[in-house]
Structure 1
Amino acid sequence: MTAGFRDLADWTHTSPKQLVALHLTKSPNTERGYREDLGAFTAWMGNRTADQAVRELLESGRAAAKRLLVSWVNRMRSDKLSASTIRRRAASIRSLISTAGDPDIEIIGWQIGRLPNLPPAARVRDCTGPGRDDVMRMFVACRQRDDAIGRRNEAILSLLYYHALRAAEVLSIRLQDVDMDEPAIRICAKRGAGRMSLRLCQRTAAAVDRWLKDRGDDEERDAPLFSRCARWGGKALPQPLSYWGLLAMVRDVGETAGIRCWPHALRHAAITHVSARTHGSPAWGMALSRHRDVRAWMGYQDVQVSHVSAAEILSRDQIVSSEPDSADN
């Protein structure tokens, strides 16, 4: 193929159907989102299939393709769709175009570039989570049960809060992933990064150890660490805990402690609290959260600094204290 800019699409080596399949080869959640976004674009184009919409888009050339996307964004804005939905859909189609322009595929020799009419991104999520005292009351509620379910719940809360694990990461832990000699666990990390090892803090290690004694040994080391604690005829049934079971458990414990809570809120709380206790240090915060991009970690900071404020500080030769306004945010 000819290197450099080439406006016309070349389907010699890759068909539209193959391009769509490659575009959708992502993690399950990303694939579901991309498929929905591509379906919305296909419906707007008036095509029967995504393959036809992709062919028409890429064969129109760079200028016409950009006009199409600008018109689509304008239509979504007139339909009063949220800014996040519009930006996500546009990013999905731009990703498809980027795939088509990949040097190893090179269906086209151009990229779409910046879309001038995208609505500004706005932070609408509250990333603070419950306060430290609220979380501690949840731990107390688990200990007050003084049974296997209470000890299981305390171990789960310890992983969700002290280690800021995601719900899927907690549920991915198998018996063979637990090493109490270290102590450490292995989790199935986000974005297909495979299993990674994490050392446990003392409180979490103690909570997991107490739960293991209640759970008992399982002949199948591939069995999940956390089960439902179901019993039938006086015999324990080691049924795996589902996400919905985990969600219901955290909500119930939160209600007992007098707060509204869900699994990911504990991760938010953990990152917010460690940031407050380390003067907003990204080194500590990103080590706990395992964020790859510092911008994701910055979403948990409650201190917003304007450009002019920074300029005033510099011009006045002032020293700014790194102490946060409050310990629990």
Structure 2
Amino acid sequence: MPSDGEAPMDGAVARAVPALALDRLQERLLEAFYGGRSANTVKAYQRDHEDFRSFLARQDGLEGWSDSAERAARLLLTLPPGAANALALGYRNDLIRRGLRPATVNRRLAALRSVVALGKTLGLTACSLEVGNVEAAAYRDTRGPGRDGVRAVMAKASARADAKGARDVAIVRLLHDVALRRGEVVSLDLEHYDGATGALFILGKGRRDREAISLPAVTRRAVEAWIAARGDRPGPLFHRLDQAGSGEGRLTGEAVRLLVRALGEGVGLTLRPHGFRHAAITTALDRSNGNVRAVQRFSRHRDVRTLQTYDDNRADLGGQMAVLVVDED
């Protein structure tokens, strides 16, 4: 049953709509939607669409549309515009009631809007989802662990004189020194490092082609120390290690998260991989005197407004203005 506060859905409306005559492509709406996207992006969309399917399974009269994420998405194309938007509004209310963060709520709504937009492009519906996002909080934790925290973690990882120590130092260096995301780190193969030039070819977030970035000397030494321990066999640049120190498959993003958390706990900090990226960006803004455009190139953020939020948090511009406004006794 729909919960209190949700727009009610008439299950009879959905059952009364005739089946659409679809060709082979249109029968695979989500497959067409996922096409050409990176594996990580597809997984994120699949989780969001699966969550919507689960929501439908809990709604009286709509259980028949929850057999698959494909069928759940197709319901939005089948309903009249008002009913489709009422259903999306009910889903938004459900996400909020479940205590999900605004960013998660908004991402899941965007996942639905994008599928409906594709359906409209393919002529499957004339509907657009107009249900808006919820207000998101300011970007969190943009300062990261700070310079002292980064140094402490580097020292902790370097204390091990074995293959794991070399691997972990190289990973932390890449997360911090060139502000890589953990997905960018784990997607690297050995062939993506050019030892002659010190260039690393990364697959950035939302990108389809790899781009070259130049590693600082200290970062390059860390990567090459790990490669010396790893060996020159083709395959993932970073892999899991068994007790003998040999490789057991590509390191996952979750493994990097746990690795960073363990290093942080070893120096009394609560850390996540993205915190090193935050620390790097904040330091770059500090040392470039707030050169947002240059730091945008370094961080590879598409929207410069994200860097402006970092800059405000870094310098506490709002706090500085408050001091000017307040009259002290």
TM-score above 0.5: yes
Q: 1:246: which partner in 2?
A: 256
Q: 1:196: which partner in 2?
A: 211
Cα drift, residue 22 of structure 1: 2.9
114, 122, 126: which one aligns with 1:109: 126
Cα drift, residue 79 of structure 1: 6.2
Give secondary structure in 2 for the equivalent of 1:101: helix
8 Å CA contact retained: 1:184, 1:200: yes
Structure 1: distance between partners of 2:260 and 2:83: 51
Give secondary structure in 1 for the equivalent of 2:64: coil
Give secondary structure in 2 for the equivalent of 1:185: strand
Q: 1:93: which partner in 2?
A: 112
TM-score of the superposed pair, with normalisation by structure 1: 0.74
283, 303, 310: which one aligns with 1:293: 303
1:21/1:28 CA distance change after superposition, 3 Å: closer
| 1:283 maps onto 2:283 in alignment | no
1:276/1:12 CA distance change after superposition, 3 Å: same
Q: 1:183: which partner in 2?
A: 198
8 Å CA contact retained: 1:129, 1:265: yes
Cα drift, residue 81 of structure 1: 5.5
User: What pairs up with 1:170-319 in 2 under 5 angstroms?
Assistant: 170-218=185-233, 221=234, 223-230=235-242, 232=244, 237-240=246-249, 242-243=251-252, 244-301=254-311, 302=313
In the TM superposition, what whole-angstrom CA distance separates every residue of 1:219-264 from its partner, at most 9, and x where no partner exists?
A: xx2x2223445454xxx52334523443333233323333222322
Runs of 4+ in 1 over 6 A off after TM superposition: none
Q: 2:82: which partner in 1?
A: 63
Cα drift, residue 132 of structure 1: 0.6
1:14/1:30 CA distance change after superposition, 3 Å: farther
Give secondary structure in 2 for the equivalent of 1:258: coil
Which stretch has the larger CA shift, 30-39 or 130-139? 30-39
1:267/1:110 CA distance change after superposition, 3 Å: same
In the TM superposition, what whole-angstrom CA distance separates every residue of 1:188-237 from its partner, at most 9, and x where no partner exists?
A: 3322523332211111112222223333333xx2x2223445454xxx52
Cα drift, residue 296 of structure 1: 3.4
In the TM superposition, what whole-angstrom CA distance separates every residue of 1:91-120 from its partner, at most 9, and x where no partner exists?
A: 222222211111xx122334333x36x532
8 Å CA contact retained: 2:34, 2:42: no
Matched positions, count: 293
Structure 2: distance between partners of 1:210 and 1:53: 50
Cα drift, residue 124 of structure 1: 6.4
Matched to 1:291, the amino acid is H
1:140/1:77 CA distance change after superposition, 3 Å: closer
Q: Identical aligned pairs, as a percentage?
A: 29
1:227/1:46 CA distance change after superposition, 3 Å: closer
8 Å CA contact retained: 1:9, 1:58: no
144, 157, 163: which one aligns with 1:129: 144
1:17/1:297 CA distance change after superposition, 3 Å: farther
Matched to 2:129, the amino acid is I
Structure 1: distance between partners of 2:74 and 2:231: 58
Which stretch has the larger CA shift, 11-20 or 57-66? 11-20
Q: 1:322: which partner in 2?
A: none
Structure 1: distance between partners of 2:171 and 2:161: 15
Matched to 1:289, the amino acid is S
Which stretch has the larger CA shift, 44-53 or 250-259? 44-53
| 1:34 maps onto 2:48 in alignment | yes
8 Å CA contact retained: 1:174, 1:225: yes
1:69/1:291 CA distance change after superposition, 3 Å: same
153, 157, 166: which one aligns with 2:168: 153
Structure 2: distance between partners of 1:251 and 1:257: 10
1:204/1:107 CA distance change after superposition, 3 Å: same
8 Å CA contact retained: 1:161, 1:269: yes
Q: 2:63: which partner in 1?
A: 47
Matched to 2:305, the amino acid is R
What is the root-mean-square deviation in Å for CA atoms of aligned residues? 3.4
Give secondary structure in 1 for the equivalent of 2:274: helix
- What stretches of structure 1 of length at least 5 have no aligned partner? 1-7, 314-329
Matched to 2:173, the amino acid is S
1:120/1:198 CA distance change after superposition, 3 Å: same
Give secondary structure in 2 for the equivalent of 1:121: coil
1:59/1:226 CA distance change after superposition, 3 Å: closer
Structure 1: distance between partners of 2:52 and 2:65: 10
Higher helix share: 2
Matched to 1:209, the amino acid is E
1:69/1:140 CA distance change after superposition, 3 Å: closer
